[in-house]
Amino acid sequence: MILYFFIFVPILLGTLLYLIPRKEVKIIAFILQIFLLGLSIYNFIDISNNGDVIQVLGSNLAITGITLVCDQFSAALIILSAFIFLICYIFGLLDKFVNNLFIFLFIILQSLIMSIFLTRDLFNIYVLVEVSTIIVSVLIMFKKDSVSLYDGMVYLISNITAMTLFLFGVAILYKNFGVLDIDTIKLKMQYIEHSRSLILPFSLMITGIGLKCAFLPLFSWLPKAHATPSAPSIVSVILSGLYVKVGIYLFIRITDMYSPAINLNTVFLIVGILTSLVGIVFAFSQSDLKLILAYHTVSQLGLILMGISMGTITSYYGGVLHIFNHAMFKSVLFLCAGIIIDHYGTRDVYKIKGVFKNLPFVSIAMIMAILGITGAPFFNGSVSKYLIQGGAKNLIINSTIIIINLGTIISFIKVAKILKGSSGICILHVRWYKRVAVLLIGSMCLIMGLAGPLLVKGLFNYTIDMTFAIYIEKMIVYIVSLAIGYLLYNKVIHKLKFVREGISFDLGVNEISISMLAFFIFLVVTTYITLI
């Protein structure tokens, strides 16, 4: 019953810690994180050696009981969840805002995320996502200022609306198939006579999930939620580093469920390209450090969508691996951004100087994360981007990936300028446990890059040949891209009006609802055309 430990232990202990407050609450919560990380590693090793684990509660039949299924993908995501939450606890353990209520909400959210990775029941997925959405909204609004309250409400209403569409799609599927189990529905999809009957549920469910994934044009809520001014840095880390991966995970599972009848890989590839490019353009135009990082989350999600939609094994594994890599370097960047903003009292990258001199440990971790996200050789992003690019079917897609990475490099040249110079501020003190947290997860960007081939083999049982010649080639390409990016930013891009003055995509709930309707109609039309 090991899978149930990931769900019930955090819920029971979190509730107990909230109801019986003691001074030792933070220490007990920290021990829980270590326990869950150890258990998740043991679970992954067990599944790697003995195969998938299926546990049924309430019935002997997986179709009718409450079923938990854990394969290597789910097991790896649970390790990722446990690790990110542990880092967040280390980073924020002694902060004043981390009270019993915050710890309770954090632990419950962790349990819900792990539950989503383990369940294969569509209605359970809906319930778990809805409850986690409410908790995330509370965490965004935790400090109760006007901006965070507004951002939290936009997040809450738009995500609940999206999951309502998802529920409508689930209801239609249940009417057609009589079951809610993803694996069973996939088997039955092979025998359906009229694929067009699936257009409506498919479009409804993917629209709902598309908003969770922040695909174009459904991404406007993400910068509000991930970069709201008063939200604690560890909330931004959970949202951008981990929780948004729930949407990608569900997208992979749901599109795989429909794959015997509907395949829109080409459509999603185009959506991924546009999402990534638009995310970079908006990142260029921001001066707010956290907004730059938030829009790059949009861009990297588009890159992940490209990888899993190209239709080749190599690119698919690259896209999935990038889920883990993005979680690492984006978590580092948000933690470092939080420290920098707290010490400089501003989020404006044009007003922050001398970070390396004043915050050397933070700067080292940030540099490792920047090297990771820009695909520098020997760092984690280079491996997943190498696989995504290796699965590109033609020169156009291959060139697009290079342009996207060049755009990422240019954007982080702008960010990296905060490391240079001197601000006139004395060397700032960062508590030791915060330094430990950022350096620990920052070093993972390097470790996962050096161990990239082993990681791919362990996760997917897929062998990649990263020879010394390939590393040399990638080094040359990266240095050339870095030089081009530096020249473009300093000679052209920073002079552009929209970069200097900034642009925003600040949609309210009504506009977000309209964009969902437009995306839904787009899916209906493209799916219908595909099935003709």
With beta carbons less than 8 A apart as the criterion, state whether 388 and 401 touch: yes
With beta carbons less than 8 A apart as the criterion, state whether 32 and 13 touch: yes
Phi, psi for residue 417 in degrees, rounded to 5? -65, -20
- Three-class secondary structure of residue 348 per DSSP: strand
The reply to whether 93 and 7 lie within a common domain is: yes
CB-CB neighbours of 433 under 10 Å: 14
Asked whether the bond before 377 is cis by omega within 30 degrees of 0, the reply is no
The reply to whether 526 and 496 lie within a common domain is: no
The reply to whether 422 and 310 lie within a common domain is: yes
The reply to whether 417 and 325 lie within a common domain is: yes
The answer to whether residue 27 is domain-embedded is yes
Domain C-terminal end among 119, 135, 165: 119
The reply to whether 78 and 200 lie within a common domain is: no
Could you write out the DSSP letters of every residue in 233-256?
HHHHHIIIIIIHHHHHHHHHHHHH
Choice among 52-61, 65-74, 209-218 with the minimum mean pLDDT: 52-61
The answer to whether residue 512 is domain-embedded is no
Number of domains in the chain: 3
The answer to whether residue 275 is domain-embedded is no
- Write the pLDDT tens digit of every residue in 430-453: 788 888 899 999 999 999 988 888
pLDDT at 231 over 80: no
The reply to whether 3 and 88 lie within a common domain is: yes
Query: Please, which contacts does 142-145 make with residues 24 or more away whose CB atoms are closer than 8 Å?
Result: 142/97, 142/102, 142/231, 142/232, 142/235, 143/97, 143/230, 143/231, 143/232, 145/229, 145/230
pLDDT band at residue 276 using 50, 70 and 90 as cut-offs: very high
pLDDT band at residue 59 using 50, 70 and 90 as cut-offs: low
Mean pLDDT of 244-257: 94
The reply to whether 102 and 227 lie within a common domain is: no
The reply to whether 310 and 432 lie within a common domain is: yes
Q: What share of the chain is helix, strand, coil (3-state, %, to 5)?
A: 75, 5, 20
pLDDT of residue 64: 54
pLDDT of residue 427: 60
pLDDT band at residue 316 using 50, 70 and 90 as cut-offs: very high
Nearest to 157 by CA among 470, 510, 515: 510
Domain range enclosing 98: 1-119
> CA distances (Å), 8 to each of 334, 370, 504, in order?
30, 37, 42
The reply to whether 129 and 225 lie within a common domain is: yes
N-terminal to C-terminal alpha carbon distance within the chain: 47
The reply to whether 349 and 368 lie within a common domain is: yes
The reply to whether 478 and 364 lie within a common domain is: yes
The answer to whether residue 292 is domain-embedded is no
Domain C-terminal end among 90, 119, 148: 119
pLDDT at 423 over 80: no
State the Cα–Cα distance between residues 383 and 277, nearest whole angstrom: 21
The reply to whether 390 and 531 lie within a common domain is: no
- Three-class secondary structure of residue 181 per DSSP: strand
